[in-house]
Structure 1
Amino acid sequence: MNPEKSIEAPRAGDGRHETRDEQLDRNWSELLQELRVMQTGVQIIAGFLLTLPFQQRFTTLDTPQRGVFLFLVVVSAVATALMLAPVSLHRRLFRHHVRETLVASGDRIVKIVLGCVALLIAGTGWLVFSVVVGPTAGNAAGAALLAVIILLLLVFPLVVGRRHRGRDL
């Protein structure tokens, strides 16, 4: 798939009187702002996870809890690296006049990071409930959180997008 073809062209009458370059600059700035917002949440969760092994109760974690903990540490590291990828890409392609490629690539990366954040939130909820209340509560809390996150991050935007298809957002 050609990244340049994946960017939606400006709609006629969208209320913005901007050139294609201005639109791409705005889109790039919006992507970076979204990454900044997600970065704070990922840093907080990663910080929480990294302090756990130094707590006395950490030694009481069973094998599945330790496995999920380590999985979440890896996901938080991957999410952090992914959030840095657009910056690295920008540095590499700076002044190469490929803003459209940067925006398309950044869009894909942000979507992957959202998936990582969803896993982090649901997994951390599972871990906390599993340790504090027990494995059954952990399973219920993790599943409930994952369901809510899927509704908020995937289903809701799809529904809103369909509802406003053909109209200005």
Structure 2
Amino acid sequence: MVEHTGETRNEKLTRNVSELLQELRVAQAGVQILFGFLLSVVFTDRFHDASGFEKALHLAAVLLAVASTALLTAPAAWHRLLFRDGMREEILTAGNRIVLAGLACLALAITVTVALIAKVVYGVVALVAAAVVCTVLFGVLWFVLPRVLPDRTPGR
């Protein structure tokens, strides 16, 4: 069956999987940079003098970055394992959900990291302010705005 775009269902699924994997490359770069930064911090002298709360925030950021890495790389692994089995639609459906969870973990990892930096440099009030600003920024830009953009698809 040919869709309104002129592609068959299989061609559309193939294109959608390719688009998903391309989008993951963008998100994965951010995760890698953040993860590298978080890993290097523990080897500094200042980290050893950090409070238990600051170390807990750091660990939370590391664990969120790990979760984000796992979630954002899962669709690529699934594609590699399952594409020959004709499971592109399943990869897309589950992969979309997993990527959204991965992006949420990435936003949280960045938020916790920025909040930690604000706490170390300026104190608890800055931690709260930074966390609120980051949460609102990511929430609005990544999750709210895409839902409220007008649909300009012809025929809808």
Q: CA deviation at 1:110?
A: 1.1
Counterpart residue number, 1:153: 142
What letter corresponds to residue 80 of structure 1 in structure 2? T
Question: Could you tell me which of 55, 61, 64 is aligned with 2:50?
Answer: 61
Query: Does residue 1:98 correspond to 2:97, yes or no?
Result: no
Q: CA deviation at 1:62?
A: 1.6
Q: CA deviation at 1:139?
A: 1.1
CA distance in 2, matches of 1:85, 1:168: 35
Describe the shift of the 1:111–1:30 C-alpha distance in structure 2 as closer, same or farther (beyond 3 A).
same
Contact 2:72 2:103 in 1 (8 A): no
Describe the shift of the 1:83–1:90 C-alpha distance in structure 2 as closer, same or farther (beyond 3 A).
same
* TM-score, scaled to structure 1: 0.84
| Greater length-normalized contact order (CA 8 Å, ≥ 6 residues apart) | 1
* TM-score, scaled to structure 2: 0.91
* Correspondence list, 1:59-138, <5 A: 59-138=48-127
Query: Does residue 1:142 correspond to 2:124, yes or no?
Result: no
Counterpart residue number, 2:25: 36
Give the share of equivalent positions with the same residue, in percent.
41
CA distance in 2, matches of 1:116, 1:29: 23
Contact 2:111 2:131 in 1 (8 A): yes
Q: Which runs of 4+ in 1 moved over 6 A?
A: none
Pairwise CA RMSD: 1.9
What letter corresponds to residue 164 of structure 1 in structure 2? D
Q: CA deviation at 1:28?
A: 0.3
**Unaligned residue ranges in structure 1 (runs of 5+):** 1-9
Counterpart residue number, 2:151: 164
Query: How many aligned residue pairs are there?
Result: 155
Q: CA deviation at 1:84?
A: 2.3
Describe the shift of the 1:150–1:165 C-alpha distance in structure 2 as closer, same or farther (beyond 3 A).
same
Query: Does residue 1:20 correspond to 2:9, yes or no?
Result: yes
